[in-house]
Structure 1
Amino acid sequence: MARDDRGAAQALLIAGSAQVELCAYEDSLASFERALVQFGAIEDQDGRLEALSGIGVVYHRVSQFNFALECFEEVLSEAQVRGLKTHETAALYRIGEVCEAMQRLEQALEFYQRARQAAEQAGALTTLTTLEIAIGDVYRKMHRSEPALRHLNRALQAAAEQSAEVARAECLTSLGRLHQDLGEHQSAEACHRESIALYRSSGNRFNLVEALQHLGWLFQQTGRDDEALQCYLEAINISESIDAGAHAHKSYLRASQLLEKSGQYRKALEYYQRSAELKQALSSDAVRLRVGSIMAEIDRDREDSDSERARLRVGELRQKTEALAEANRKLTVIANIGRDITASLDLGKLMFAVHAAINSLVSTDSLGLGVLDHDTGTVSYRFFIEAGQALAPIEVSLNDSSSLGAWCVRERREAVIGDLDTEYERYVPERPQSVGTPNKSALYLPLIVRDRAIGVLTVQSRTRHAYSEGEIETLRVLSSYIAIALENSLILERMVQLNKELTDEKAELQRANEMIQHMANHDNLTGLPNRRLLNDVIEKYLPLARRQSSRFVVLYIDLDDFKPVNDQFGHASGDAVLRTIAARLAASVRSSDVVARIGGDEFVVLMRDVGNTEAVRRTIDKLITRIEEPIALDHGPIVVRPSAGATVFPQDGDQFEKLLLRADEAMYRIKGSGGQRRWTFYSD
């Protein structure tokens, strides 16, 4: 019997994992929770931890990170107590994944490295490959390209040796993003295309969507908009085909940006709206999962204690259920119509959607939608449809004594008129003027949002007393949806107008702020970081260097006899010399290094993550040689000779000011050596 129970629980685990890959998260959560209960009943701790990990994976997928962490931390705690290395490794890796998704990169790196240690002890080669990819990708996100490249290349080689196609694809995706960050677009494209081919051949469509998004983003960044759009559209189609539409919100958003750029504004708006809906759906799925999980527990508790009373009440409940089902069916029809109406932000589309919806519920010959304009004190009937044809827009004063629509908005009350010839005086003193063909009965409903009227809906018929109380109640319910849709459309109109007016002003303000920020942190002459920015960079970098036991070099450079250049050739020539040397230094170091001008003819170079001492010597020799190359001036070429001193963290000091002071001391030793050497280490 226990063997059968274990087999059933294992089947639930397999089902849950498959449902995760198909993005059927509610089903997968149910499978994992049932497996958790069954494994607990037969005291199978391995199975129980696998089921709990599965639940954590589901919560991670729907961005419920705190719930996911609770699951993985419980698995980690039990695994460590019981000495279960495989579960410990997996839990550490999963916690690292959640930390990475929450942008806690240093924590993620710590957990991945702990997982790697556990995997090495267990001899789990496949897991080690996955962890190398994860560690490399975190280094990439931390903008540490050298260790990122090292780990990812190691993982790629291991995946090839193990014939692990999915791991290869994941590694190539990360390498593609790294090359993209470094501006190596051809290498990035090659990696993304190869990873996409591997995902296609392996049938891994969820990761294929992500890979297509990365390739699309690369194309979008490099101005290949048509190719980018094709990538996003394919990602959308695949997401929809595996019922994972909620994960396509990023593709919809970026596709909307490209459509807007190409002038396809309506379609861009539709895609933007779809992106927002899917993002909301993903959040709703997460809430529904949690609520469903809690309700399942409540139901199981009730099942034992209330089963007898439940059987006695079945007949009564069935009757009530049938009545509620009928009422719910009617509400569902209205809600579906309301959803379709509120999905449109375009006023023209909104009006025709309203017309179609109302005609599906009641008979109408004319329909109008009036919008209140507070600035002009008028109700503007932008849309009035008669016999399926749109009439010319009309505008009436809010104080018009013959306008039923104006009265309705002004009083925020509905007007129900069975016979317009005799009943109008209940609302207005003067006979209303007809728009189009005169009608015999009419219904005016104020469109109210947050206790304020924003417009009016009118439905009219050529038949007297055309609308029953049931139909009027249906239109009342529908009018609340129309009010929301109208407000959304009006907000969009105002936003578009405001955006148009503010774009230039915002751009100008942004340029001014960027210029002020740049001027505060950069040298005006050379454009290099100044001492203030250099100090900020190093102070932020020092804690990381200490934690990771990294070495870095501070090189202090002073130009010998620079003053005669100004005296002999003028300050304009001196400025040209300084700009030339600044450009040479900036072009001769890595992107991760920093070149700063901290004084008149004084420069400092910060070289991060340096290797052995000989490699550093070669780099500094190259910098000195570049400075000494002739500089062309109007009066002919000149040569400027530098003196420099270098300190190494941590052996020459563990604080920036100390490192800089000792580099300065080393530089002055060179100046006093009579020109025999150009630079030295402080410790030499």
Structure 2
Amino acid sequence: MSKEPRFPALSTMSCIRSGMSTCRKRRMKRWNICVPMIPITGKATYRSSSHELSLAHAFHSAVATPMSGPTSRTIDDGNAKAWDDLMHKPAKALEDCQKLLAEAKAGHYRKGEADALLNIGWCDFHLSRLPEAFSAFSGATSTYDALGDDEGVCKALNAIGVYYHEISRMDKAIDYYTQSLDRARRVGLRGRELVAMTNIGELCLNLGNPKEALDYLLKAHEMQASQSDPELAVVILMNIGSSFLDMGNYALATEFTEKSCRLALEAKELVNASECKAILARIATAEAKFDQAETYLQDALALAKKVESPRLHGQMLIAYGGLLLERGRTAEAVLSLEEAIALCEETKSKNQLHKAYEYLARAHEDMGDFKVALQYFKQYSHYRAEILREDTAQKVRSIQVQAEIDKAQQESEIYRLRNTELKEKSDALEEINRQIQSISEIGRKVTASLDFKTVSKTLYESLQPLIEMDFFGIALHAPEKKQLVYRDFYEDGLLKHDRAIPLSADNSFTVCTFQNRAPVLIDDKDKEYGRYLSKPSRTRGNPCQSIVCLPLTIEDRVFGCLMVQSRKRSAYSQRHLALFEALAPYIAIAVENALIHDRLEELNEDLSGEKHRLERATLKISHLANHDTLTGLPNRRLLFELMGKALDTAARTGDKVGVAFIDLDDFKPINDLYGHAAGDSALVAMAERLKSILRASDIVARVGGDEFIIVLTNVQDRADIELAAIKILDECGRPITFSGHEKSFSFSMGIAVFPDDGISIDELINKADAAMYRIKRADKHAFAFSE
């Protein structure tokens, strides 16, 4: 039997970006922390009461083509179950409804057909298959109308209004909402009247008119008091709270939202209760009551878990993680966001995944983990591009479908009436189709590049044949400088760079557009500037008179402006503005992709720099671990490693290795006479003398205060080692200059030979050390071989 499906709210997490703000958000500080905002959803939360359902079934029996009672009841029950499922399982509900539609047609049960078509439309809507949804809604409208079912017609007209609302055809949306409202009033369907009024209120709110929205919502609230329907009351109160929040009246926003929350909890409407908690978190955030906002989001999370909705749970986790990140609790934020990603992967919710990955990238960037941050940033970029591409493609497809529908209707009227006015409308539709093709082509070109300069140039060159332009540029918000910056712009056909405008400027159309989040269209700047600015803008030379400037947005976040100007008066019309508004999503995608690419390049450079720093630090640590800090010679650890390799090589080649242990004679008086700094300088000078004497293949290491070990490699016999020892004694006996002093040193040297005196490192060093002490006790400044 017929039920009014919910409009997608936080309970479905659809977050549809074009048209209405089904997931409007307010943002906090530098990370753009998003606390979910509840849509004004009169379209959808109202369910039929049990009394209405009984009347509906009685109506089915009266108007439908006769078929067996149990069969009609089965179809009615199936439609009711499909309605219950379509919120969280739209694909499964769609499959069931298609089967019910086939059964109703086979049994000639028209009421069952109409109900199934309406449910199919809502399933398609939840699955973002908007053209299919429109077709099903239209079929349901025709069937209900043929049956004389006023309530069904009201529901179907309302659904078509939702469709037009979704594709931003606000004129069509208000037309169908009004038709539903008028019919409901005419036949006395109070519940349907309230739903239509709530929808119109939401539309006003979406258009930035919260006061006008309240005119409808408060009246609906007053009328609802006699309906005894707590669920409808919950929705209306919640929407009124959101309206006051948009107006900045936090006291009334809190009052109405808390009432809604209490009613939702009493009626065990846990989804709505969770959504109310999220709105209260937004209010607390706006009032800088972050502890209270955190408590509300914790309550919202607890309620989301109870209803077992992965989408609702995931979005609340993301909001909570974002708040924790903003508050500097990075580790907790990471845990919340990782849990959210697991849920979002399960539901394949790209809208939630891209936000979770963005927060995780920023969290790891805060922690200095640039490699992980880069991985998450790439994931964010991937999902962000998919979302914007699908959203824009869907919007273009919807406009094309609707243009074809309108064209077909008008061509029929032309054929029937042969009316010149209708022929002009047909020509206008042809122009719309040509514009759509131009928009798609330009969009394809600008989104093909990841370089901002190329994007700007491509857009400028593509627009030149279509529009008069003496100035063209894209200004980007630079929050750290509190400026809007034209990085690359064209003036009189010449490319120029870096024009910055402070956000405090009160004579800039760019700043006005950015701050008001609304387009500017001017035919004569000298006469019309007062509509936007407190004082005229200052321009050198011959100023431009016609201006089109519109904000560039991503997910309700304004990040820049597109500016086009002409020196001619009345150069631009509403048609030009519509062209730029249709191009805006493509431009936004292209510019953000370029900015994301720039950010990825920066992260790559950071990672590369970090890698080089780590490599340098590793080399430095390795050098310090293996070398004497005073002389730079190998220490005992490196000596043993190098000596081991030399012995292994000698064992293979049959060569000998000489190991000389050297100790400077009477070095302590140097420290006593000249000081330890001079003594250190003398040791450094001696180390340099030793290195200059030896071959590149030999090894010299400092193993103690004034003790050195020399390893002579690639020698054939003891005679070669003896010649080297004599040379060392002679050269090192010459005076050494250190710290302004000059002095000759003597030293004692003991020598062991591999493999004659031993084959292990310790054995050779010990024997060389023993030979050195024999010399020190006897002659000094001499050498001796191990005995």
TM bracket (short chain):
0.3 to 0.5
For CA contacts below 8 A with separation 6 or more, give which structure has more relative contact order.
Answer: 2
**What TM-score does the superposition give when structure 1 sets the normalisation length?**
0.42
